[in-house]
């Protein structure tokens, strides 16, 4: 049981204070005419039943109590309510290769990507969200869901240690993204791939073209800078110990491959966005998603507390009616006085 307006219940305190005051004053009340004679009181109040008068007051008290309960909005039990959600199926494909630890975007490429994705999820209204992580291979990390809180929790858990097979296989990630959609209709489906753009297989553009022909839109997001950055190698506690080197011992610089990501977005009928040190990178994606035609994703039912104030209001009304109609007059006993002939 819950209350929609729990603050209304404080009025019970005023009732309690009132009746405590009445109890303390009991026995100190006097007849309105202090100098009246017993005969006058008997004539005025002889037909008045004090016990019935007390019950009349009690009916008013009960009615007022139930009126306060009704006004507080009691919600009891549950009911099944149909809900329609309109939106699109949105799959984030996130690069978790070690190059995403580069710090040319603060605090790191991956942390910046997670922040921007979080901002997008907060702006969604009815869309379903899924997450795929990839490096040298790709995996469905979060199936499509309308539970945005769960999506945020899964998003927080993403790091570059999730996939032991290193590399950046955008082609594999896009194929996994296509399989994440559960419905046969290809319409109302969006893939947002977020990476530094170093595709080690080179088939991403062809896959994007194929997806676009079936109606799936692919947006691409580049995370990083064109000048690039060294790739830190972190310990288990997240502390940078050294930087990645190639087989010849030279430091590896990871640069954003913006041209490849633009080609993927063009082939997928989407847009290209860069996540850098500015705070507005996600807004173009939000606008692109909002401009799409929405579908009814699901018409499901969920349980919630049902308003039951009507019951208490009816009971309150009954007590008020009973109290209003309750007689306070004493019953007069009929006596036989004989008959005058």
Which tens digits make up the pLDDT trace of 179-193?
A: 888 765 556 789 999
- State the pLDDT at residue 59: 81
- The model's pLDDT over 302-333, given as tens digits with 9 standing for 90+, comes to 556 677 778 888 888 888 888 778 777 766 55
- State the pLDDT at residue 48: 66
SS (H, E, C) the chain: CEECCHHHHHHHHHHHHHHHHHHHCCCCCCCCCCCCCHHHHHHHHCCECHHHHHHHHHHHHHHHHHHHHHHCCEEEEEEEEEEEEEECEEEEEEECCHHHHCCCCCCCHHHHHHHHHHHHHHHCCCCEEEEEEECCCEEEEEEEECCHHHHHHHHHCCCCCCCCCCCCCHHHHHHHHHHCCCCCCCCCEEEEEEECCCCCCCCHHHHHHHHHHCCCEEEEEEECCCCCEECEEECCCCCEEEECECCCCCECEECCCHHHHHHHHHHCCCCEEEECCCCCCCHHHHHHHHCCCCEEEEEEEEEEEEECHHHHHHHHHHHHHHHHHCCCECCCCCCCCCCCC
Separation of first and last alpha carbons in the chain? 73
Residues 234-247, mean pLDDT to the nearest whole number: 72
- The model's pLDDT over 6-35, given as tens digits with 9 standing for 90+, comes to 777 787 777 777 766 665 555 544 555 556
Domains of the chain (ranges plus CATH)?
2-27+35-73+308-325 (no CATH), 83-299 (3.40.50.410)
pTM flag (> 0.75) = no
């Amino acid at each position: 049981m819950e209350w929609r307006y729990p603050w209304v219940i404080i009025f019970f305190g005023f009732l309690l204070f009132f009746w405590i005051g009445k109890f303390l004053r009991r026995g100190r009340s006097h007849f309105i005419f202090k100098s009246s004679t017993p005969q006058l009181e008997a004539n005025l109040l002889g037909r008045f039943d004090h016990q019935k008068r007390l019950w009349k007051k009690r009916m008013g008290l009960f009615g007022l109590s139930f009126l306060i309960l009704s006004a507080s909005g009691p919600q009891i039990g549950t009911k099944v309510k149909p809900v329609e959600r309109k939106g699109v199926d949105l799959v984030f494909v996130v690069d978790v290769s070690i190059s995403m630890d580069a710090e040319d975007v603060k605090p790191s490429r991956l942390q910046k990507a997670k922040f921007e994705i979080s901002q997008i999820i907060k702006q969604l209204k009815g869309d379903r969200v899924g997450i795929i992580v990839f490096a040298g291979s790709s995996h469905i990390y979060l199936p499509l869901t309308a539970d945005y809180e769960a999506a945020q929790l899964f998003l927080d858990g993403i790091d570059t240690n999730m996939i032991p097979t290193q590399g950046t296989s955008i082609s594999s990630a896009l194929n996994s993204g296509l399989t994440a959609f559960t419905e046969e209709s290809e319409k109302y489906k969006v893939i947002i791939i977020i990476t530094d753009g170093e595709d080690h297989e080179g088939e991403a553009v062809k896959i994007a073209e194929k997806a676009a022909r079936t109606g799936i839109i692919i947006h691409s997001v580049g995370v990083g800078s064109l000048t690039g950055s060294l790739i830190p190698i972190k310990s288990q506690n997240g502390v940078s110990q050294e930087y990645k080197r190639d087989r010849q011992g030279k430091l590896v610089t990871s640069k954003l491959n913006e041209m490849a990501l633009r080609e993927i977005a063009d082939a997928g009928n989407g847009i290209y966005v860069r996540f850098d040190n500015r705070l507005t990178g996600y807004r173009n994606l939000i606008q692109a998603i909002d401009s799409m035609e929405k579908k009814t994703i699901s018409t499901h039912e969920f349980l919630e507390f049902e308003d039951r104030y009507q019951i208490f209001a009816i009971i309150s009304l009954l007590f008020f009616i009973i109290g209003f109609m309750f007689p306070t007059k004493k019953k007069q006993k009929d006596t036989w006085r004989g008959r005058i002939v």
